[in-house]
Structure 1
Amino acid sequence: MSSKIRYGLLTVIVAAGAISGYLYLHQSDEQTQQVAHAIEYSASSEQPLDGSAQKNSTQMAVELAVQYLESYGDTIADPVTQARLYNERRALMEKYPEDGAHLFESAIETAFPELHEDIMVLMANLDRYNTWLDDNELRLHALPTLKQEMEIWQQREAIFGALASQIWGEEESYLEEKSQVFRKKVAHLENANELQLTELAHQLQTSAEEVYGGGMSLQFVGSGALGHALFSLESVQHRLEQMPSDKRQQAINDLRLQLGYSEGAVERMAKQDQIREAKWQKGEVYSAERDALIQRLSGEDLDQALGELREKHFGMAAPTIAREEEDGFYRFDRPRQYGLN
């Protein structure tokens, strides 16, 4: 037997010892037998192992399995750990373009047979996710930071579901921490009825920039988050509610301009506000007439009268309103929030 072959067999025997010892502690007898079979096969092939290009693929898969067990075995059941294997796979595929994917899967099946399928599904989903990132790289870079983060998280949740918050948990925790700091900073604005609307908007912008960084208010505007935060304040709603409708709309427009919305965006949003206003006015009339019917009628007579009333006010949307009310939801009984609903 040549020295090269003896060296190759010694490498496989060392790998066999390492992997067998680990499996004795961490895996079942059946899994140990699977790995032992692979090791026995690779040893019997007597292929030289003195160069990466010359190694038998099974021998290489066994060596990789040893590496993966040593590096990831203790926590491999955790999806976060499984996701870390993605970089191992990409490096392997770059080094061996033709065989890298097969080598990786063989190593995973050898090292973690019970989790092999789950890991490979995760790898495929990470491929999908990274392909999406590549395809949308230029568009994402052109977006405001907050909008970019929102789109990325939406895509993660669409592909990975509940696993997204586990895989990127640290990042999510960071964003949630920032969000909590921001909420604490603006909590005093909630009932600051003594402040003018322009001052409320200014303090909200200032708080956003302090927490998220300079220029962040414009990025919040891009996602609509800053406007939503402003119009969600009780103090803002209190002042808007006291205004006549025409002055109220002008005040809303001015606030949006102050936050950084473009004039075109403000005009489009004002039109949407007017559509919502018309719906609320119709809803108030409907609610009053519905209450009157409930006071006078009952049973089938009430059901028929309510059906006719919904048809009168809402036309094709009447069945939707009926289903909502059957479920105990009355859309016009919820709080009115000017600038939002």
Structure 2
Amino acid sequence: MSLQAKRVLGTSAAILGLLVGWRLLPAGHTSGAPPSPGTTSPRDRARPTLVGTPAGRAPPMSGAVNAAAPAAEALASELEVLRLSLIERFGSRLHEPSVQLRMLEQLMRYFQTRSPDRWREELQTFLRKAFPGQYEALATLLRDRLDYEKWVKDNDAYLRGLDSKQRRAAVWDARNRLFGKETAQRLWDSELKHQALVDALQVIDARQDLPLTEKLSAYKARLGAVYGDGAPAQLARHPQETMNRFLALPSVQRELTGMTSAERARSLWAVRQEMGLNDEALRRWDALDQTRDARWEAGLQYMAERTALARTLSGDALEARLQEVRARYFGTEADVIAQEEASGLFRFTRPRQWGRN
């Protein structure tokens, strides 16, 4: 057999083993077609029936192997495939607590499905064999993770009774106590960064003396302080989310509302440019803003006409006129608007969010 063929067969076996391990295929079933009951292979038909063997029962095979041996071998092979897949996915960063925890949580789900009553023992056995050099750290993190889960469940009612600030303080107190402060901060690093930005935006929004351009500068400075050298990468990965957080500030929306259309277009372009969007993306957003402006202008005119009609008409007569008005303002989208109104949603009574809707 060629080396390439061996590699293909080895890869296929690994994939099938992984699928079986994750219950995507039932154990022992690696074919697309189920075996047909009552069918026999040519080899089976050629095998003579021993005298005294009941019909339909397979004759005993000489040198039969205990079924437990191949089952154990299959399990070992399955777990080895699992180990290799984990190393491939997490190995280069397995020294990081957050990566360790992510791997452990995946393994928890795997072993809980596989062995609901003994999943923890089997998981620890797997960790000891698969990652002997990191077993102590992984076992400790697993224990702390389970203790934290129990604490959250036991204190659910208490936490619900707290306001957001008190709840955050209580949760962090438990995390620091169970995991250690340094490990807890590394595990929930993204949450800490997110909260730091939320707090910063609240401060920026409260600064009524700052114009939009200075608020944007303060926001970018805070992004740099929170993410450090990773700020450009964060912006590149989440440009719209980062931009929307700023545009959603009530003070920013008020300032945009007070601008002329041309001033507002220039301000939105500047915000997006500062968020790292390239020229092509900036042009797409500008075109979308113009489409939204036209839609909102038509929508507000429609609502004014609708209100006037509702003063003099009702029932079927009102609906008949509204169908005409909706078709005039919204064209092919008229039926969608009608369905929304029938469900109680009037999209053009919602606040206008410049740069967002």
In the superposition, the TM-score normalised over structure 1's length comes to 0.52
Where does residue 89 of structure 1 map in the other structure? none
Runs of 5+ consecutive residues of structure 2 not aligned to the other structure: 1-63, 79-103, 120-184
Pairing partner for 2:341 from 311, 319, 325: 325
Q: Secondary structure in 1 aligned to 2:229?
A: coil
Corresponding residue SS for 1:204: helix
Partner amino acid, structure 1, of 2:268: I
Is residue 309–residue 318 contact of structure 2 (8 Å, CA) maintained in 1?
yes
- Cα distance in 2 between the residues matched to 1:278 and 1:237: 19
In the other structure, the counterpart of 2:332 is 316
Whether 1:286 aligns to 2:302 is: yes
Equivalent residue for 1:203, pick from 205, 218, 238: 218
1:56 match: 69
Q: Which runs of structure 2 are paired with 1:100-111 in the superposition (5 Å)? A: none
Question: What is residue 185 of structure 1 aligned with on the other side?
Answer: 200
1:273-296 deviations in Å (ceiling 9; x for gaps): 111111111111001001111111
Q: Which residue identity is paired with 1:214? A: D
Looking at structure 2, the residues matched to 308 and 204 of structure 1 have their Cα atoms a distance apart, in angstroms, of 47
Checking the alignment, whether the CA contact within 8 Å between 1:190 and 1:233 is kept in structure 2 is: yes
How far 1:235 sits from its partner (Å)?
Answer: 1.3
Q: What CA distance in whole angstroms lies between the structure 2 residues aligned with 1:214 and 1:283? A: 45
Distance apart, 1:46 and its partner CA: 7.4
- TM-aligned CA deviation for residue 207 of structure 1: 1.7
Q: Which structure is higher in RCO with an 8 Å CA cutoff and minimum separation 6?
A: 1
What secondary structure sits across from 1:214 in the alignment?
helix
Q: What is the aligned counterpart of 1:260 among 259, 263, 276? A: 276
Q: Following the alignment from structure 2 to structure 1, what is the Cα–Cα distance between the partners of residues 320 and 66? A: 87
Structure 1 runs of 4+ off > 6 angstroms? 61-65
Deviations 1:132-164 (A, max 9, x none): xxxxxxxxxxxxxxxxxxxxxxxxxxxxxxxxx
Check if 1:251 corresponds to 2:267: yes
Cα 1:256/1:178, change in 2 over 3 Å: same
CA contact (8 A) 1:217 1:226 kept: no
Q: Is the 8 A contact 1:181 1:211 kept in 2?
A: yes
Letter of the structure 1 residue corresponding to residue 349 of structure 2: D
Structure 1 residue 213 displacement after superposition: 2.9
Structure 1 CA distance, aligned partners of 2:281 and 2:245? 18
Which AA in structure 2 matches 1:269? W
SS of residue in 1 equivalent to 2:194: helix
* Cα gap change, 1:62 to 1:245, in 2 (>3 Å): closer
Matches for 1:119-198 after TM superposition, within 5 Å:
174-198=189-213
Task: Indicate the RMSD between aligned Cα atoms, in angstroms.
Answer: 3.6
- Give 1:242's aligned residue: 258
Residue 112 of structure 1 deviates from its aligned partner by: 5.5
Match of 1:150 in 2: none
Contact preservation (8 Å) 1:191, 1:234: no
* Cα offset, 1:230, TM superposition: 1.5
Q: How does 1:55-74 map to 2 (within 5 A)?
A: 56-60=69-73
Match of 2:108 in 1: 82
Does the CA contact (< 8 Å) of 2:235 and 2:275 recur in 1? Answer: no
Aligned residues: 204
Structure 2 contact 227–234 (Cα < 8 Å) conserved: no
How far, CA to CA, are the matches of 1:46 and 1:215 in structure 2?
58
* Structure 1 residues 266 and 218: CA distance shift in structure 2, 3 A: farther
Q: Where does the alignment leave 5 or more consecutive residues of structure 1 unmatched?
A: 1-43, 48-54, 66-77, 87-107, 116-169
Q: Does the 8 A contact of 2:204 with 2:215 survive in 1? A: yes
What's the CA shift for 1:206?
Answer: 1.7
Q: Distance in 2 between matches of 1:175 and 1:327?
A: 39
How far apart are 1:331 and its partner, in Å? 0.8
Relative to structure 1, the CA distance from residue 85 to residue 316 in structure 2 (aligned partners, 3 Å threshold; closer, same or farther) is same
**Residue 218 and residue 56 in structure 1: after superposition, are their counterparts in 2 closer, same or farther (change >3 A)?**
closer
Q: Helix, strand or coil for the counterpart of 1:56?
A: helix
Measure the CA separation in 1 of the matches of 2:186 and 2:318: 54
User: In the TM superposition, what is the alpha-carbon distance from 1:322 to its structure 2 partner?
Assistant: 0.5
Within a 5 Å distance, the mapping from 1:31-46 to structure 2 comes to none
Aligned to 1:75: none
Residues 63 and 199 (structure 1), Cα distance of their counterparts in 2 relative to 1, 3 Å cut: closer
Give the fraction of aligned pairs with identical amino acids, expressed as a percent. Answer: 30
SS of equivalent residue, structure 1 residue 336: coil
TM-superposed deviation, 1:315: 1.2
The 1:329–1:173 alpha-carbon spacing in structure 2 relative to 1, beyond 3 Å, is farther
Residue 97 (structure 1) aligns with: none
For residues 62 and 315 of structure 1, what CA distance do their matches in structure 2 show?
63
